[in-house]
Structure 1
Amino acid sequence: KQVRWDRGGIEPAGEYIFFYGNWNEIHELGTGFFVHKRIISTVKRVEFISDRISYTVCRWCDIIIMNVHAPTEDTRDDLKNRFYEELEHVFDKFPKYPIKNLLDFNGKVGREDIFKPTIGNESLHEISNDNGVRVVNFATSKTFTVKSTMFPHHNIHKFTWTSPDGKIHNKIDHILIDRRRHSSILDVRSFRAADCDTDHYLVVGKASERLAVSRQTMHGVHMERFNLKKLNEVEGKEEYCVEISNRFAALENLNTEVNVQYSVLRGWASPCT
């Protein structure tokens, strides 16, 4: 979302760390990421491409999370085209990484039948506007799905923006993800009560990711470590000698029991021969 802060940087914000950057010369736009301190170590790097596009690379599975702010519906077509060209260029840098693309596309995605393979059946709007068509076309060209229009919720949990007079409700913020990993998004909905100092509502997506575990970790043998320093002590030596004697005594008893059982089995087998 629009940050509008000077320059760029990293700031603590309660239990979170805020990465922000790239506002324009009139203090508009700019994007940012809030990352909980508990998982800050998973952030490999954060890049700010322009005042409308940024991304963060996570260490687990090299997942890319992109944050974009598309031009509004009434913006000139050439500026919209320039934004999507820049977005395409950034996407092409990550051909093999799972990507989640989220936030303010400023597009109303409708329920047109031709779009349903990409958007599902749960959009708030009947008809897409120009920005909405651009979102769907972009998602289709990248084999992405629009997950924010796929979950059944009451309308009050679908719209993400309300006009100043409170009469118009739109869903213009979306979460997109690679179709191959679309099942990792479990739910998307908006929360009206969150105070984010913006005319947009907070959009929350629940995700579940599988972390890769190496074979060495899964099948490694746990080696017990011995405290050899105890053998230099009198008490330690005595305990060691007693333990060794007990173990050998157990082996002797085991050998006797095996011989006895073998004789019994041999006796059972004799009448059958």
Structure 2
Amino acid sequence: MCKIRLKGKFQNYTIINVHAPTEESDPEEKERWYSEVESVYSKSPKGDIKFIIGDMNAKVGRESIYRPTIGCHSLHETSNDNGTRLIDLATSLGMVVGSTRFPHKNIHKITWVSADDVTRNQIDHVLIDGRHCSNLLDVRSRRGANIDSDHHLVVCKIRARISRYK
């Protein structure tokens, strides 16, 4: 886990980069990991725009009960255990899963390809504070980037806005 704080023109950004345990990991290990993410998040300054990005090893589905948190444009139909844990984390922190909110072709949602080139998943995600989710303009994967990994590069576009309140 890595945390970086960037100074922006109007607001500062806190980006927490994570690598979650796999689906087959011990449930206690997953609980420890998610509580550590919550701890790092809570220690970040309240005024910052906060992101949690990285390999979540979570298949987030299109379940209608989670629609306010995840949107409706996921690659997968149903969430796995890590997916529901990620949704619970996002809900408890007041965040949204930005990587499943934008309509793209399935080829642009795939973030991981297995070694045999058969299994393709969307397991890398971008989470942003719910109050700043309108600043997130787009999230998609870029297949052409040579990053020497079985994961595709995930790119998000954000905008910086100032408040009009006096």
TM-score, normalising length: structure 1 = 0.57
- The answer on 1:54 being equivalent to 2:2 is yes
- Paired letter, 1:154: K
Distance 2:162 2:55 in 1: 28
Find the counterpart in structure 2 of residue 257 from structure 1. Answer: none
Distance 2:66 2:122 in 1: 16
RMSD over aligned Cα atoms:
1.6
Distance 1:74 1:136 in 2: 18
- The answer on 1:147 being equivalent to 2:95 is no
Find the counterpart in structure 1 of residue 87 from structure 2. Answer: 136
Distance 1:145 1:95 in 2: 18
Partner-residue secondary structure (3-state), 2:82: helix
Partner-residue secondary structure (3-state), 1:63: strand
The runs of 4+ residues in structure 1 deviating greater than 6 Å are none
Find the counterpart in structure 1 of residue 66 from structure 2. Answer: 115
Distance 2:147 2:74 in 1: 24
State the identity %. Answer: 50
Offset at 1:189?
Answer: 0.5
Distance 1:163 1:180 in 2: 35
Find the counterpart in structure 2 of residue 176 from structure 1. Answer: 127
Distance 1:211 1:95 in 2: 18
Tell me which of 160, 164, 169 is aligned to 2:115: 164
Tell me which of 66, 70, 75 is aligned to 2:16: 66
Offset at 1:62?
Answer: 2.1
Distance 2:41 2:141 in 1: 26
TM-score, normalising length: structure 2 = 0.93
Structure with bigger helix share is 1
Partner-residue secondary structure (3-state), 1:91: helix
Distance 1:199 1:148 in 2: 18
Unaligned runs of 5+ in 1: 1-52, 216-273
Distance 1:121 1:88 in 2: 25
Offset at 1:163?
Answer: 1.1
Partner-residue secondary structure (3-state), 2:67: helix
- Paired letter, 2:6: C
Offset at 1:95?
Answer: 5.3
Describe how 1:177-196 pairs up with structure 2 within 5 A.
Answer: 177-196=128-147
Find the counterpart in structure 1 of residue 76 from structure 2. Answer: 125
Offset at 1:178?
Answer: 0.5
Offset at 1:94?
Answer: 2.1
Deviations 1:21-54 (A, max 9, x none): xxxxxxxxxxxxxxxxxxxxxxxxxxxxxxxx11
Offset at 1:211?
Answer: 5.3
- For these two proteins, the number of residue pairs brought into alignment is 162
Partner-residue secondary structure (3-state), 2:24: coil
Distance 2:21 2:95 in 1: 20
